[in-house]
C-alpha cells in the first residue's frame, strides 16, 4: 500500500492539468485538475463553469494536500474555507490576494490594463491566450526550451475551452478580493512564488504570511509566474519538505 500523501493540484486560468506534469514531489501522489469549463489536455471540457464556489465543491475528496496555482489557488482557498476539502495542508502557488490593484492592495494589476486584456480576449481568444502564456515566463531565467516549443504550449494551454468560459473566469479573477476580509488560515500553508513573476506581484507572499500562524513561504529565485513548469525540481523539493512536516 502506498504511503504517499494524496494531493490534488488545481490549474490556473486557461490551462490544462498538464501544467503539473513536471512536478514530482517525493512522497506525494499528485493528481492534476483544471478549473470547471476548461478543456483538459485530451480536449474534453471539465464539467461546470466560472464560479469559485462550484469549483471548490468540485474539488471535494479525501485529499491530504491541496495545491492551487494562480486562479486555481483562489479555488483551493475557497474549498478550504467552505469545508469542501479538509486537507492536512494547503499550497498556494503564485496566488493573488487581489488580481487588480485596489486601495487595500496597490500591488495588483492596473484596471485599464485588465480591461484591454479583457477586450483582446473578446476579439481574439486564441491569440490572447497565447500572449498570456508567454507573459507568464517574462522574468523567468529558465531556458526557453522549458516552455516555448509549440508542442509544450499546446499541451499546457486549454485552447479548446469556450471563449465564454475563459471570459467568465477572467471576470471572476478580476472581482476576487481577499484583502477586504483576509482569510484566517488555521491549517499549515506553504506559499510559493517566483521572484520574477510578471503576472502576480511577489508582494502576495507578505499578504498570505499575515493570514495565519502556520503559513510559511518560499521564493523561487529566477522563476516567473509558473515555477512548477520552469523550476520543477526546486518547487517539488519545497512541496515534498512541506508534505513531510504534515505527517500525522
pTM comes to 0.94
Per the residue annotation, which of 15, 38, 193, 225 is the catalytic one? 225
Per the residue annotation, which of 197, 201, 218, 231 is the catalytic one? 197
Whether 51 is a known active-site residue: answer no
Per the residue annotation, which of 70, 201, 218, 231 is the catalytic one? 70
Q: To which residue does cell 491566450 refer?
A: 129
Domain definitions of the chain by residue range:
5-245
Q: Which residues pair with 194 in a beta bridge?
A: 220
CATH architecture of the domain covering 5-245: 3-Layer(aba) Sandwich (3.40)
Whether 225 is a known active-site residue: answer yes
* Alpha carbon distance 93, 32 (integer Å): 14
pLDDT digits (tens, 9 = 90+) for 78-120: 999 999 999 999 999 999 999 999 999 999 999 999 999 999 9
pLDDT digits (tens, 9 = 90+) for 144-201: 999 999 999 999 999 888 899 999 999 999 999 999 999 999 999 999 999 999 999 9
SS3 57: helix
Amino acid at each position: 500500500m502506498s504511503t504517499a500523501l494524496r494531493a490534488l493540484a488545481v490549474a490556473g486560468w486557461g490551462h490544462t492539468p498538464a501544467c503539473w506534469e513536471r512536478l514530482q514531489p517525493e512522497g506525494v501522489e499528485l493528481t492534476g485538475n483544471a478549473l470547471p469549463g476548461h478543456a483538459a489536455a485530451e480536449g474534453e471540457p471539465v464539467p461546470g463553469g466560472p464560479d469559485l464556489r462550484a469549483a471548490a465543491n468540485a474539488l471535494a475528496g479525501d485529499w491530504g494536500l491541496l495545491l492551487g496555482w494562480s486562479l486555481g489557488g483562489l479555488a483551493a482557498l475557497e474549498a478550504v474555507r467552505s469545508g469542501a476539502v479538509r486537507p492536512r495542508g494547503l499550497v498556494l502557488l503564485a496566488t493573488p490576494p487581489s488580481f487588480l490593484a485596489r486601495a487595500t492592495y496597490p500591488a495588483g494589476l492596473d484596471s485599464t490594463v485588465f480591461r484591454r486584456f479583457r477586450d483582446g480576449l473578446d476579439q481574439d481568444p486564441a491569440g490572447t491566450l497565447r500572449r498570456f502564456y508567454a507573459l507568464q515566463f517574462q522574468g523567468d531565467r529558465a531556458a526557453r526550451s522549458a516552455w516555448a516549443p509549440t508542442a509544450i504550449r499546446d499541451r499546457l494551454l486549454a485552447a479548446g475551452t469556450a471563449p465564454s468560459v475563459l471570459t467568465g473566469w477572467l471576470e471572476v479573477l478580476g472581482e476576487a478580493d481577499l484583502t477586504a476580509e483576509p482569510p484566517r488560515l488555521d491549517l499549515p500553508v506553504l506559499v510559493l512564488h517566483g521572484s520574477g513573476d510578471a503576472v502576480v506581484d511577489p508582494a502576495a507572499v507578505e499578504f498570505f504570511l499575515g493570514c495565519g500562524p502556520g503559513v510559511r513561504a518560499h521564493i523561487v529565485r529566477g522563476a516567473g509566474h509558473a515555477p512548477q513548469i520552469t523550476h520543477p525540481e526546486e518547487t517539488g523539493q519545497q512541496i515534498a519538505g512541506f508534505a513531510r512536516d504534515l505527517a500525522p
